[in-house]
Amino acid sequence: MVKVRHSRLQAKKWSTLTLVLSMLFMLTIVLLMLLAMGIFLLPIGDDGPSPNDLSSYRRLAIEKYNKTEERIEQWTEIISWEPRAFVYHNFLSKEECEHLINLATPHMAKSTVVDSKTGQSKDSRVRTSSGMFLRRGQDKIISNIEKRIADFTFIPVEHGEGLQVLHYEVGQKYEPHFDYFLDEFNTKNGGQRIATVLMYLSDVEEGGETTFPAAKANFSSVPWWNELSECGKEGLSIKPKMGDALLFWSMRPDATLDPSSLHG
């Protein structure tokens, strides 16, 4: 009886082992077929980007964009810490710049400023450009730009104003001013302005700089100092380049107003 039972146990073990070997053999055949068809790829070496390597992902995303819209490499540059100012190079494509210009051109009007006593718009000699406002999410291209601004600033789209397109002729200007509100009317309406993104839609032969005369920095330290106009050398200046975007903060991290954000 003992021997018989032992013999049955051995037979059962051999049967299980045969089944496992058969399944492994079938699995090997399936993997070989998938490899031959190119559906399943084995990792080779350590040259591929790590899932946690954000810089690699950023490069791949740009390369993918290049294949569809021929956008060149993008990168950010720290301009100043007082005020906090950063340039995102090639933020907009040439096609996006032209789209914004074409949308705005038929509707341009004399730019105004906000009256600090009444909160209403008024004409002023300190601002001589022309401009117009676009609706938030006006079309797909505008929505994509607004989403990109939200990603750049970490501020949700719904917390932003509609894009304002501005045009400066030769000799036109906007004298140094703050983007934060000094009246209670506008702050009651939508809260305080905390940051601004300026996107340059065209290249210029001379001038057009955004200047921060109260910045805590060495104005002549920028590599483009010799290319600046005389007005541009009166402060820390950013030279305009089509597609670049300048982000600067009108408030400090502690939520106090930053007077070094004065700009023109």
The C-alpha angle 126, 188, 121, rounded to 5 degrees, equals 25
Residue predicted with more confidence, 9 or 187: 187
Which domains are assigned to the chain?
77-249 (2.60.120.620)
Look at residue 51 and tell me whether its pLDDT is greater than 80.
no
3-state secondary structure of 103: helix
The more confident residue out of 89 and 61 is 89
Inform me whether the pLDDT recorded for 153 exceeds 90.
yes
Structure tokens at 117: 């006593």
Give CA–CA dist 32/30, Å, rounded.
5
Higher pLDDT, 175 or 7: 175
206 versus 117: which is more confidently predicted?
Answer: 206
Distance of CA 262 to the CA centre of its chain: 23
At 217, is the secondary structure helix, strand, or coil?
Answer: coil
DSSP code for 8: H
- pLDDT by residue (tens digit) across 3-46? 334 444 454 555 667 777 777 778 777 666 655 555 444 443 44
In the structure, what pLDDT confidence band is assigned to residue 1 with cuts at 50, 70 and 90? very low
Supply the pTM of this predicted model: 0.73
pLDDT level of residue 186 (50, 70, 90 thresholds)? confident
